[in-house]
Chains A and B, each alone.
Chain A
Amino acid sequence: MPRIYVHPLPVRIWHWINALGFVAMIVTGFQIRYIGLIDLMSFRTAVVLHDWIGFVLIGNFFIWLLFYLFSDKIKVYHPELSPMKHFRQSFRQALYYGYGIFKGEPNPHHVSVYQKFNPMQSMSYQVIMLLLVPLQFWTGVLLWDVKRFSGMIDALGGVRVVDTAHVLIFIFFSGFIFIHVYLATLGHTRMAHIKSMFTGYEDIDEEHPAGR
């Protein structure tokens, strides 16, 4: 099967550090919030790990950001400016996952170097990478040292407000991570997309060579 190089090395490095980091953040996040209910480690250990991994993830985020800012690959994140077109394509994609996939219909999205995301992915990752992840990092840093950032925290309505925002995004990621992993198994084989995130190469449908 022909393949194209869609995941450059910096993106793959960022992705896997991010993946491991997010799992660790979710686990330590659960431990911090539900001590007594979950006892994998002490509260303090969980907090310290959560803090350190959080800073690693913030640094890692800049690998992703700088790569895309200084590369033409940023086009993969360009939004579809026609809402109607975007909606139509998203609906087709949703229909595929909800119905067509069971019938063995082909995926309506065809991966290319500058269009590696299907419309649903594109929208999701714009929101996640440009809104939710930075917001989570920001609220996380504020909560890391509440005293140091007390002025900003008070301006936002107080530590409980900041924490609630942090927890709401945590809740989203705690659910999203399962969906993300599952969707990654919906390639032409269960491991196809996952392998491509290691090798950088995505297998493409021979009928759609435009992807090259």
Chain B
Amino acid sequence: MGIGRSRLETTGTAFHTEFVVAVGIAVLAAVLTVASPRAGAAEGALSQLDQQCLACHSAEGLEKKLDNGEKLSMHVDGAAFEKSVHNKIGCPVCHANTSFENHPPVKTKISSVREYSLSQNKVCESCHAPILKLYESSIHAALLRSGNAYAPICTDCHSPHAVMAKAAYDKASGTPCSKCHDPIFKAYASSVHGNAGLDCSNCHRAHEVTAATAGDQLKDACLACHQGALDSHKTWLPNAGRHFDAVSCPACHSPKAKRRVDLRLYDNAAQQRVAEKKGVPQFESRIRLVDSKGSGLDAMALHSLLTGFNRDGTDNRTTLRGRLEVSDGVDAHRLVRSKGAIQDCAKCHRQGADPFQSVTVSIVGPDGRPVRYGAKPEVLNSMISVDSVGGFYAIGGTRIKLLDWLLALAVLGGIGVPLGHLTINWLVKRYAKRIGGKEDS
């Protein structure tokens, strides 16, 4: 398609390409003759340059039809832009790649609206490098790197032409988070935190959002506000420190949630969870080796899996660390006041307790999210697990069945031996009398 056939349209009205080119060149000529983007602009008012841009771009419905059929909106709300923090820098700082030669019509091919957003997203770094650095550590960035073009980028949360300081989040609707996490937001909105008017970012942070079950960020977030939590738990909860390590907060504080045990592959030498190496997926292939039927790992398969990870002279550095957590992200946000939290130890510390009926084994995936595989609940009660699941144990709930039998045998033996001895003694006396012998002992 030649430049002359480029399609720049406003709703219902087609512009002649030549006219558009002429306007564009005129505007850009003005742009490039201005020494400073802010030259001539009063504080808070739009610069002459920006006004020139908006002469066209404030037109409602201004959009560009792309080759793939999508329409890229070219409309900028002038009033909103004037109020936005980006008013201070003006149009050319972000659209510096726009020049006489390519505007308008645009010579550069834009394959999709998303592709354009992704390309423009890089511009943000020129001013917001520290924030971008935080973002790069996030699950959102990891998803983007892994090839998910629809993973959240700057402009998904911050409307670039109407961006206001600290105003990206709307408490009432939960946007922008709820755009992707709506069920979670709804659960959260009715929770104790939602009612208290907290934002998603109070726990998850705005830019360095990590996978919920990776690392200690969320637990740290809880404890950052609830600083006395450990001490207050110690007043009634035996082994409170251990509970804090092995049980996620929502597992008790979201009392109706479905829970599970996640057995995490842990590198003892590095003191962190085992992560998949990029390009060398080992978890899935090792799982296939030990569970070819795909029916879930039993105790032997789990043991073999661990042996596999420790095979290459790693000196048993890989172990399993269990964590009792909520199975569902939505449930994890249905937090209640502490009075409503689970305080009955028997909920977990009895045989057959719900949390131990669902077991997964996990590794940290390349995008930072856990990759999980199901295991059979028996792995928590098997004698074989003394070795492989050494790092997780809940008294009563995950007790080893073989030891129950041993205990029964010991008690029966302890009672049976004296009873047998007494019986023999009684029989001996009785028969000794009957055959005329003397009564001894």
Query: Which B residues, 364 to 393, have Cβ-Cβ distances below 8 Å to chain A?
Result: 385-387, 389-393
Query: Which A residues, 26 to 70, have Cβ-Cβ distances below 8 Å to chain B?
Result: 32-37, 42-44, 47-48, 51
| CB proximity of B373 to chain A, nearest CB, Å | 21
Q: Once the chains bind, are B390 and A157 in contact (CB under 8 Å)?
A: yes
Q: Once the chains bind, are B407 and A159 in contact (CB under 8 Å)?
A: no
B242 at interface, CB cutoff 8 A: yes
Query: Which A residues, 120 to 152, have Cβ-Cβ distances below 8 Å to chain B?
Result: 143-148, 150
B19 at interface, CB cutoff 8 A: no
B84 at interface, CB cutoff 8 A: no
Query: Which B residues, 384 to 419, have Cβ-Cβ distances below 8 Å to chain A?
Result: 385-387, 389-393, 395-396, 398-400, 403, 406-407, 409-411, 413-415, 417-418
Distance A37 CA – B345 CA, assembled complex (angstroms) = 15
Contact of B245 among A37, A104, A147 (CB under 8 A): A147
B109 at interface, CB cutoff 8 A: no
Q: Once the chains bind, are B407 and A51 in contact (CB under 8 Å)?
A: no
Q: Once the chains bind, are B390 and A172 in contact (CB under 8 Å)?
A: no
Residue of A nearest to B351 (CB): A36
B424 at interface, CB cutoff 8 A: yes
| CB proximity of B246 to chain A, nearest CB, Å | 9
Range, interface on chain B = 35 or more
The answer to whether residues A178 and B241 also contact, given A157-B390, A159-B392 and a CB cut-off of 8 A, is: no
Residue of B nearest to A103 (CB): B440
Tell me if A's interface is mostly helix, strand, loop or mixed.
helix
Binds B, one of A6-14, A161-169, A201-209: A161-169
Q: Once the chains bind, are A44 and B390 in contact (CB under 8 Å)?
A: no
Inter-chain contacts of A101 with B (CB < 8 A)? 425, 441
Inter-chain contacts of A176 with B (CB < 8 A)? 414
Q: Once the chains bind, are B414 and A174 in contact (CB under 8 Å)?
A: yes
Contact of A172 among B238, B393, B410, B415 (CB under 8 A): B410
Distance A34 CA – B349 CA, assembled complex (angstroms) = 9
Inter-chain contacts of B413 with A (CB < 8 A)? 175
Inter-chain contacts of B414 with A (CB < 8 A)? 174-179
Distance A176 CA – B415 CA, assembled complex (angstroms) = 9
Contact of B395 among A102, A163, A181 (CB under 8 A): A163
| CB proximity of B386 to chain A, nearest CB, Å | 5
B83 at interface, CB cutoff 8 A: no
Q: Once the chains bind, are B403 and A168 in contact (CB under 8 Å)?
A: yes
Give me the 6 closest cross-chain CB pairs, A-B, nearest first.
A104-B440, A158-B390, A147-B241, A175-B410, A178-B414, A182-B418
Given contacts A34-B396, A159-B393, A164-B386, 17 further A-B contacts (CB under 8 A): A33-B395, A35-B346, A35-B349, A43-B345, A101-B441, A103-B441, A145-B239, A145-B242, A159-B242, A168-B403, A168-B406, A171-B410, A174-B407, A175-B409, A178-B415, A178-B418, A179-B414
Could you list 29 A-B pairs, sorted by A, with CB under 8 Å?
A: A32-B395, A33-B399, A34-B396, A35-B345, A35-B396, A42-B346, A43-B346, A44-B236, A44-B345, A51-B238, A101-B441, A102-B440, A103-B440, A147-B242, A150-B242, A157-B387, A158-B389, A158-B391, A158-B393, A159-B242, A160-B392, A161-B386, A170-B407, A174-B414, A175-B410, A175-B413, A177-B414, A178-B418, A179-B417
